[in-house]
Structure 1
Amino acid sequence: MEETTEQWAETSLQNFVKKADAELDVLGNQIPYIPEDNHYVDMGKKDISWWTNGFWAGTLWQLYHFTKDEKYKQAAQNIEQQLDNAFADFRGLDHDVGFMWTLTAVADYKETKSQAAWTRALHAATILAGRYNPKGHFIKAWNPENGLYRNGWVIIDSLMNAPLLYWAQDETHDPKFGYIAKKHVNKIMKYNLRADGSVNHICVFDPKNGQLLETKGGQGYGVGSCWSRGEAWAIYGSALNYKHTHKNKYLNAAKSAAHYFIANIQQTGFIPLVDFRAPKEPVEIDTTAAAIAASGLLEIAKFVPEFEHDLYYDSAIKILRALTAKYIELDPDKMGILTHGSVNYDADHANEKPIIYGDYFYAEALLKVIGKELQVW
């Protein structure tokens, strides 16, 4: 009998769990990011406020939800507690508090009803809401760097941070969190998403009036290009904003970004290039964009009518199968599971390597296929 998609996903997930167990044995209390010479540097010591510091904990919460093995919960809560040091420092925190505490404190609260986790999550949501510019109707992305204040900078990634605000609205019954989220997302829909479904990574607005000043290539090739992970953030982030608001314009945006992504990856075996609008050479891929998009496509498939479902679901499965066939590292002596992730177009030191968020979204997508994911967003 031919193996079903669900059986294939279950097998792939079991392989993931076995490798994650080996990594957990080595990591202990460390917070991983990108392996160097097959070993992780502890971001808890290097930069406790780094935006990816919740992804390993998020992976552990997904595995706990799947297996109910206490070791995953204990390790995830350890990371959550370490992130209290980021709250204490405060200066290093930006809009990515959404990533950091959705995958730690929100996940913890959803699984355990921990009041300490609830408090941390609300603290993070309040920080995120505090970055809102009421005149420009956007949430400022980043903090000052090298004398550049960046008070009007907005990036496509922030669509994924909005769910923290919706969570806070639901938990506190305070609509201000939802008002801020929707105003910010509407700004992105108007300026970061293009009419053809592609995206601008960075839009720079005048912080005094909200007018668009310029767009930037950001982590892609350049102005006017289309960074594939930004496209993946648009797919998944727009779908999540639809999930929380039921506004059709957000689902339509998710579908538009998905169509652009799917059309491009069909040219490259369902694995995206780092940028869809870049020179033909050098050829570099980003498996993290693939994993994020796969999970986002599965999210879209939950919401569209019956006769639209297969386009998004089948495309997600093709991506996951392509990743599993060529880009999974199961050697327990080599840290990282999903290989060939790329931070940005020009990051020679960090391109086509394992990156922790690639592992998270790959596992999350497989769990969605078998219907056993923790719905953390």
Structure 2
Amino acid sequence: MKLRPPRLPRPPRLPRIPAPVLPSFSGRLHDARTATSIGRWLGGAIALCFVTGVISHYLQHPPDWLADELPSRPSWGYRVTQGLHVASGIGAIPLLFAKLWTVYPRLFVWPPLRSVRHALERLSVAVLVAAAVFELFTGLLNTVQWYPWPFSFVPVHFAVGWLLLGAVVLHVAVKYPEIREHWGRRSPGTLELPAVDGPDRRSLLTGVVAAVGAVTLTTAGQSLTPLKRFDLLAPRHPDHGPQGLPVNRTAAAAGVSRLSARDWRLTVLGRNSYELTLDELGALPQYTVTLPIACVEGWSKSAKWTGVRVRDLLERAGARPDAAVRVVSLERRGAYRVMEMGSGYARDPLTLLALCLNGRQLSPDHGYPARIIAPNRPGVLQTKWVARMEVI
């Protein structure tokens, strides 16, 4: 007779984890058609913002091989591209909110990860959203010159811009079949979009367009001066500032005290180095040009500047026709205390060492006793309080 081994007790069953109670969404417009309609507008705004941002970056920080190739004309070029950069970035903010509203119910789909491909897709979307939020809101804070972060804004903003572009391209590639299906007004074979949604979708899109138009109208006047009367939300008004022109960096902020004409000297270093007092500089041939100041924060305005041509000063120092120039400011601190101009800018007849603004001597905040004004240049490179020029 065989003895049966005693039965071992069964291990206790683990409690079954119930599926989480997810929120339900009754809105009918959290769908692919609405997301595609808003997404193509958002994609266009981001593309315009990216292209103009790249232009701005390389005009501010040109690599050595590009410095002498940057064009000085059209004289208003940077004013247009940077105005578009800031306007498209601000306009993209309500578009981003609307886009996220159309798709956020998908965050609550269960299970959250259905496959490796689905996990990679969600990861790419997370990168896309994070990069877009970072770019738009750091750019917005830059317009008011508020930097509540420990990193340098310009290089990080530029790098994340490329990350955002790559995330957009990847997202479009992954979602292309769905985008193509819902791109037009009619989507044959699509069952999830009943015809009754049409009026609601048009109302939503109309509201989004109105929001974009409102933020654009109330901020674009800082660079598009015909709209300056509507400039309610922009941090700068083109008419507010000393001598009727805004300033970003005052003489006090730059550590430049009031100078007397007797103490100041302009030093020009080259094969034939020399110095000039303010009276001697004023005795040289004077030219008046109309050029805009266009700042990276998005504001711009044209003004009349009077002074000496930079190319005349360089020729007197024995500079060759292809020479560039380094300009050194009196300011004690600042990332743009030393500025370099390629030969294209230095030889342009519109590039002046300006002494007067709108027919009056420069105020201290506008760079007294002398400042650079050049065509198609960012405002941060229109160096104020010039003390020295070096032929390079």
Query: Which bin holds the TM-score, normalised by the shorter protein?
Result: under 0.3
Q: TM-score, normalised by structure 2?
A: 0.24
- More strand per residue: 1 or 2? 2
- More helix per residue: 1 or 2? 1
Larger Rg: 2
